């Protein structure tokens, strides 16, 4: 979740819960799973990194593959 003071809580906290406001804010758009998936893009300069960059302005994440070589 992006940093913000604009939080509407509905549970799992001792803080004020505003369930009715949260329910008014919810929006359901039914789509086929293929329409909602986004795939990672490999980093061309690092074979161990994959960038997941959804169409959300303040979010992206990189998956870093860590190779551990254990000698027994």
Tens of pLDDT, residue by residue over 14-67, are 989 999 999 999 988 899 988 888 899 999 999 999 999 988 888 899 999 998
Single pTM value for the model? 0.54
**52, 62 in Cβ contact below 8 A?**
yes
In terms of Cβ atoms closer than 10 Å to its own Cβ (0-12, 13-18, 19+), residue 62 is middle
Supply the residues annotated as catalytic.
9
Q: Measured between alpha carbons, how far is 50 from 62 in angstroms, rounded to an integer? A: 5
The DSSP 8-state label assigned to residue 64 in this structure reads: E
């Amino acid at each position: 979740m992006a940093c913000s003071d604009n939080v509407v809580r509905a549970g799992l906290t001792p803080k004020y819960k505003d369930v009715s406001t949260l329910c008014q804010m919810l929006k359901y758009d039914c789509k086929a799973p293929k329409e909602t998936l986004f795939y990672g893009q490999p980093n061309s300069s690092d074979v161990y990194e994959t960038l997941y960059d959804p169409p959300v302005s303040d979010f992206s994440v990189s998956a870093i593959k860590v190779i551990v070589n254990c000698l027994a």
